[in-house]
């Protein structure tokens, strides 16, 4: 791969060539962005940092609720959010040239419940997924300069009700919300080419090596490792079981939370107490993890999928079918109530721990050195570190995150976790449902359209052929969700029909936007329209390895830029009517509900982008996707380093820190 220098300053960070993308002139003075990034989720657990605290329960004693409705807080919040999306949606649809439909009049005649209900889902896939998903969000965000020009999709984010993330996608979602729902553009403009650019989304040093000492965390490597170990040990000393996910989540925070030491006192539930969120000025963030008992093997049809919102942790799946208040997630519950009504735990839902739980597959990094270290020294060090953490649960369960189980003794007939004091959660993609669709297809949420961003690494050097390119999606995640909703655990969710992966390759469905479920009359149940946005090479070969853990600013920006171009189809270069077609997708279910004739331009869009049911299950050929637009060339002397090198540094550092702190 060839890299040439670009994107070296705040102004150039947003530039994209005339071959197909946005050309943006900054409308905000980057020197003022520090204030925007300074506001964050509350340090709700200050001064105790990462260590959960036992306190008196509030007078309204928290309890577990059945999942037969949305949370009361969500229902109340939705009323405000539905009002807030009217103007952004009016402005967005008014720019999208849906000829044959007066969108202003159409929206005027809809009540709040009749408005299109939009969800966005960002898949897992490490930093590839985080940055590709961030590029899509940037394209949809009206705060991005140039995104609201003619044909732009800026405002789609402001018109959305839900934004879901899983694993790497959850890093993007969680980081944006933890940092006061800042914009992707603000982060990149703040942190590109400056001598002191802080630490937010600074990926030049691997997460397993620690931030540069001139950032807001003034640690050398030994101090960084000592801090990770010290904060996690404090939680352990307080009587809470820990796993490698605790270390992983703390390390993540140094890159994703714009606060000293990665904000050890910041909690995910505190988002629900910030004015911008209570005023419903942003979509509802939903992060996804899978439930897995130790030693259990997950497949899509046996997995309980858990969702984090700022209010709750729980699931609509019939196994547990319950939600618990996230703010009190560390409390000992039994049969839905605190064991001691005077004793509630707060501060357990540290933001890094939540994001780490959804991405716990990366805990595997701490076990990969065994196979590559020839000296034996790192293997010994790794064993020392891993045994100290996993001695109680077994090395095969490296990827588990322990949560105090709020569903203990709850619904014992169906709940596989009812007998355990610990709720064991793992990376949300381990059930093969790598796009976080589950919370968005619940009938009670009534989502009309989901923009499903797939950054999965399904292809490899032996699939679909021995000389295929690795780390591109093949549609497997959509197939997994489709199959799951047909099983008993599907719980009356509905999902459009999805073809097999061979068809994805043979028809090119994994290399371009595709609509699934266009004809609602052919669906069983109320399924949303899926706008599938697979990662593909638009301006950059964005199939970097999931376990590439370090990126220069230029590489980071190129991945984001590629996602932006995928979302906008090169700002219309690849299809001048693409933005119109997005508008038609947004309105599709609403037009059907209201009995409104589909405009001719929309019918043309559906003919072009809807999967029409054609199946080709023949063996696919070599998959080597070509760039669709002019390539972004970047120059770097330090390409993204892989997991082996970085893990070695972390293992040695952690073990050294353990001895220092002993």
- How does pLDDT run across 26-58, given as a tens digit for each residue? 233 333 333 344 444 568 888 989 999 999 999
Give the SS3 label for residue 338. strand
Residue for token pair 């931030």: 211
- E strands, 136-184, where? 162-166
pLDDT digits (tens, 9 = 90+) for 347-366: 999 999 999 999 988 765 54
Q: How far apart are CA 71 and CA 569, in angstroms?
A: 37
Chain center to CA of 644:
24
Q: What is the mean pLDDT of residues 98-126?
A: 92
What pLDDT is stored for residue 295 in this prediction?
76
Q: What is the mean pLDDT of residues 321-333?
A: 97
Distant-in-sequence, close-in-space partners of 218: CB < 8 Å, separation ≥ 6: none
Q: What angle do CA 66, 71, 75 make, to 5 degrees?
A: 140
What pLDDT is stored for residue 189 in this prediction?
85
Helix or strand (DSSP H, E) at 591: helix 578-594
Top pLDDT among 10 and 359 is at 359
pTM for this structure?
0.89
Looking only at Cα atoms, what is the longest distance across the chain?
73
Give the SS3 label for residue 334. strand
Buried b (16+ CB within 10 A) or exposed e, 436-452: bbbbbbbeebebbbbbb
Top pLDDT among 465 and 650 is at 465
- Kindly tell me if the per-residue pLDDT of 640 is higher than 70: no
Asked whether the beta carbons of 232 and 250 are under 8 A apart, the reply is: yes
Give the model's confidence band at 608: pLDDT under 50 very low, under 70 low, under 90 confident, else very high.
Answer: very high
Structure tokens belonging to residue 271: 């988002």
Asked whether the beta carbons of 347 and 330 are under 8 A apart, the reply is: yes
Chain center to CA of 288:
8
Bond prior to 464 in cis (omega within 30° of 0): yes
- Kindly tell me if the per-residue pLDDT of 389 is higher than 80: no
Asked whether the beta carbons of 563 and 135 are under 8 A apart, the reply is: yes
Give all domains of the chain, ordered by start, each with its CATH number. Answer: 12-661 (3.40.1090.10)
């Amino acid at each position: 791969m060839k890299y040439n220098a670009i994107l070296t300053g705040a102004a150039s960070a947003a530039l994209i060539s005339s071959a197909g993308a946005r050309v943006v002139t900054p409308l905000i003075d980057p020197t003022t962005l520090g204030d925007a990034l300074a506001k964050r989720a509350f340090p709700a657990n200050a001064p105790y940092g990462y260590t959960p605290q036992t306190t008196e329960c509030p007078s309204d004693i928290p309890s577990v609720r059945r999942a037969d409705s949305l949370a009361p807080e969500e229902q109340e919040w939705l009323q405000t959010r539905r009002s807030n999306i009217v103007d952004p949606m009016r402005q967005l649809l008014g720019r999208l040239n849906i000829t044959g439909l007066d969108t202003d009049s159409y929206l005027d005649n809809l009540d709040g419940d009749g408005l299109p209900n939009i969800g966005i889902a960002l898949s897992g896939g490490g930093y590839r997924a985080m940055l590709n998903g961030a590029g899509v969000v940037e394209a949809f965000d009206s705060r991005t300069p140039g995104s609201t020009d003619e044909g732009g999709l800026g405002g789609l984010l402001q018109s959305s009700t839900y934004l879901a993330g899983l694993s790497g996608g959850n890093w993007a979602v969680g980081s944006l919300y933890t940092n006061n729902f800042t914009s992707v553009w603000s982060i990149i403009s703040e942190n590109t080419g400056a001598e002191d650019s802080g630490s937010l989304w600074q990926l030049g040093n691997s997460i397993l090596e620690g931030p540069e000492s001139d950032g807001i965390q003034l640690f050398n490597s030994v101090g960084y490792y000592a801090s990770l170990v010290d904060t996690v040990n404090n939680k352990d000393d307080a009587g809470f079981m820990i796993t490698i996910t605790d270390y992983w989540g703390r390390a993540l925070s140094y890159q994703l939370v714009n606060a000293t030491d990665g904000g050890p006192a910041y909690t995910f539930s505190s988002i629900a107490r910030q004015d911008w969120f209570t005023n419903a000025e942003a979509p509802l963030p939903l992060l996804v993890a899978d439930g897995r008992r130790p030693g259990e093997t997950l497949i899509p049809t046996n997995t309980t999928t858990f969702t984090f919102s700022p209010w709750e942790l729980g699931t609509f799946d019939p196994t547990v079918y319950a939600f618990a208040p996230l703010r009190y997630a560390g409390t000992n519950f039994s049969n839905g109530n605190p064991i001691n009504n005077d004793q509630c735990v707060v501060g357990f839902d540290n933001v890094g721990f939540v994001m780490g739980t959804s991405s716990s597959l990366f805990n595997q990094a701490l076990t990969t050195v065994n196979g590559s270290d020839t000296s034996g020294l790192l293997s010994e060090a790794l064993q020392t570190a891993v045994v100290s953490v996993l001695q109680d649960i077994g090395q095969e369960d490296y990827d588990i995150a322990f949560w105090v189980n709020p569903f203990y003794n709850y619904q014992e007939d169906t709940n596989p976790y009812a007998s355990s004091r610990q709720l064991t959660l793992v990376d949300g993609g381990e059930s093969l449902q790598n796009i976080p669709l589950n919370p968005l297809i619940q009938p009670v949420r009534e989502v009309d359209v989901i923009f499903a961003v797939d950054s999965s690494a399904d292809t490899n050097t032996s699939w679909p052929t021995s000389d295929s390119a690795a780390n591109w999606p093949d549609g497997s995640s959509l197939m997994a969700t489709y199959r799951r909703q047909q099983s008993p655990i599907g719980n009356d969710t509905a999902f459009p029909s999805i073809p097999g992966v061979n068809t994805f390759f043979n028809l090119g469905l994994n290399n371009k936007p595709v609509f699934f479920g266009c004809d609602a009359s052919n669906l069983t149940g109320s399924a949303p329209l899926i706008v599938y946005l697979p990662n593909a090479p638009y301006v950059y070969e964005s199939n970097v390895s999931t376990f590439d853990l370090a990126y220069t600013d230029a590489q980071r920006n190129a991945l984001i830029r590629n996602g932006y171009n995928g979302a906008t189809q090169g700002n219309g270069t690849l299809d001048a009517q693409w933005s119109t077609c997005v508008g038609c997708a947004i309105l599709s279910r609403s037009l059907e509900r209201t009995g409104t004739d589909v405009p001719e331009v929309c019918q043309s869009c559906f003919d072009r982008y809807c999967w029409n049911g054609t199946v080709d299950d023949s063996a696919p050929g070599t998959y080597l996707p070509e760039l669709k637009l002019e390539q972004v060339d970047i120059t770097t002397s330090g390409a993204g380093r892989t997991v082996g090198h970085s893990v070695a540094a972390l293992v040695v550092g952690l073990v050294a820190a353990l001895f220092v702190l002993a």
